[in-house]
Structure 1
């Protein structure tokens, strides 16, 4: 059977987290740059499909191709290592420290941004004919996305910030599920189907993904969107990163670890002790004291 049971799945997740933390700086940057680039070109593809067909659901149905390709190739996303690395630390894997986790997160953030920004520049060239013309319909749509998801939140003040944060939490509840489900099958088709479902959901629901936003907002600024870099950082990227961290750990990593990870071992030990004690009691009761005749 290609299906990996949850108990084995969690061990695979922990193994993956430990390997991410221990990865060299060079490899971490290369894999995260490619991960950011691959995911964001799929975001550009999804926006293009939505604009040209007028059917946003179709764009959401097709967006997961980028996520699937990058995880099949073993590339990294910040939203993924938010879940993988802490579980390796909770499992007390040798060499996995809080400092190592923060180093990994920082490198993956940097690499994802480099990859996403590169795609933003390249797509801006495509939709403006090398900046020689005004943005086409796809470019205009990207610019408006940046406006709506920065100043659109700011207009509502604290309520807007809360909405942004909750959307980011819900986003990585789905994306981190996709990261974990990438390991739930041993064959490629099974992995693809498993990853497809939560990624399609997050994109169509308009949840906030920190890496996708590393493409959308620089693209919007390059294409004349009516917002600033500070709008992007304060009213999107920083709260989105924090929300993604909370969502991935709270709704995916911790529940899986607490019910299927190492904490289950003491329960098994206690159960086995009870079984041994019961067996001893039965054996003792069977040994009747010897009696002598009169």
Structure 2
């Protein structure tokens, strides 16, 4: 079977959340580190393609290669566990408590950040020949991204913060849709196609992804971007993390759970939505 129906899909989501909640500290951090590193490489790839072609759509079309690889390899992004792990707690799986969820989120955050930071340092070396010359065109672009998406928001004050938050919400609505959509299929090709579409949308639309930003903004600081660490944390990373949490959990995790794991009563004879109703036939 290559297609998983929605009710079974939600059971898989809850099972996945439970498994991640109880994963050992070592495995959680290693998998998060690799996810952050691979996604950072994909972001570097997309920026490079965009600079060299002058076409942002080409970069966006190719960026999902990193996302697909990391999920096929079983690695974890903070955006994904924001959506999946709480479902095990909401479903009252034995031993899953709020502190279990928060522990998982914290470990994945640390692992993702470490992986993205390592790649940021490596890319800094590449685009400056070991910081011995000025950044090349790709390096300059990385610096510009960090500046425009921190100071650029700050210039608009509260309206800029609201815009940043909403972009974070929309981002993880799409990213978590990709995470969940991958579970719809049992074939590699089906998983890749299902993931590729929403990830393309988020990247091309310029929505804010907390782990991608863990690479872009440290890179910008290393490469001369005109913004500070405080700008990065206050005017991007922290609001983006909150927006990603709200977007993934509200628009993907809870909606899928509510309508497929706990559906309302059917209007047909007052039966539950998952009870089959015999079809009446006329005997001639």
State if a TM-score over 0.5 links the two structures: yes
Name 1:288's counterpart in structure 2: none
Is the counterpart of residue 5 in structure 1 residue 22 in structure 2? no
CA deviation string 1:159-204 (max 9, x = no partner): 0000000000000000000010111100000000000000000000
Q: Report the Cα distance in structure 2 between the residues aligned to 1:80 and 1:256, rounded to whole angstroms.
A: 14
Alignment root-mean-square deviation, CA: 1.6
| Closer/same/farther in 2, CA of residues 266 and 92 from structure 1, 3 Å limit | farther
Name 1:37's counterpart in structure 2: 37
CA deviation string 1:39-90 (max 9, x = no partner): 1100000000000010100000000000000000000000000000111111
Q: CA deviation at 1:94?
A: 1.1
Structure 2 residue ranges without an equivalent (≥5): 276-284
Q: Report the Cα distance in structure 1 between the residues aligned to 2:27 and 2:264, rounded to whole angstroms.
A: 34
Q: Report the Cα distance in structure 2 between the residues aligned to 1:123 and 1:136, rounded to whole angstroms.
A: 11
Q: Report the Cα distance in structure 2 between the residues aligned to 1:2 and 1:215, rounded to whole angstroms.
A: 35
CA deviation string 1:112-158 (max 9, x = no partner): 00000000000000000111110000000000000000000000000
Q: Report the Cα distance in structure 2 between the residues aligned to 1:95 and 1:178, rounded to whole angstroms.
A: 28
CA deviation string 1:191-243 (max 9, x = no partner): 00000000000000000000000000000000000000000000000000000
Aligned length, in residue pairs: 272
DSSP 3-state at the match of 2:183: coil
Name 2:28's counterpart in structure 1: 28
Name 2:180's counterpart in structure 1: 180
Q: CA deviation at 1:250?
A: 1.2
Q: CA deviation at 1:264?
A: 3.0
5 Å-filtered alignment, 1:221-260, equals 221-260=221-260
Name 2:76's counterpart in structure 1: 76
CA deviation string 1:232-276 (max 9, x = no partner): 000000000000000001111111000001x238779x727xx9x
5 Å-filtered alignment, 1:1-294, equals 1-261=1-261, 263-264=262-263, 271=271
| Closer/same/farther in 2, CA of residues 170 and 265 from structure 1, 3 Å limit | closer
Name 1:284's counterpart in structure 2: none
Q: Report the Cα distance in structure 2 between the residues aligned to 1:104 and 1:265, rounded to whole angstroms.
A: 31
DSSP 3-state at the match of 1:131: coil
Q: From the CA coordinates, give the structure whose radius of gyration is larger.
A: 1
Q: Report the Cα distance in structure 1 between the residues aligned to 2:39 and 2:94, rounded to whole angstroms.
A: 31
Q: CA deviation at 1:101?
A: 0.2
DSSP 3-state at the match of 1:264: coil
| Closer/same/farther in 2, CA of residues 178 and 133 from structure 1, 3 Å limit | same
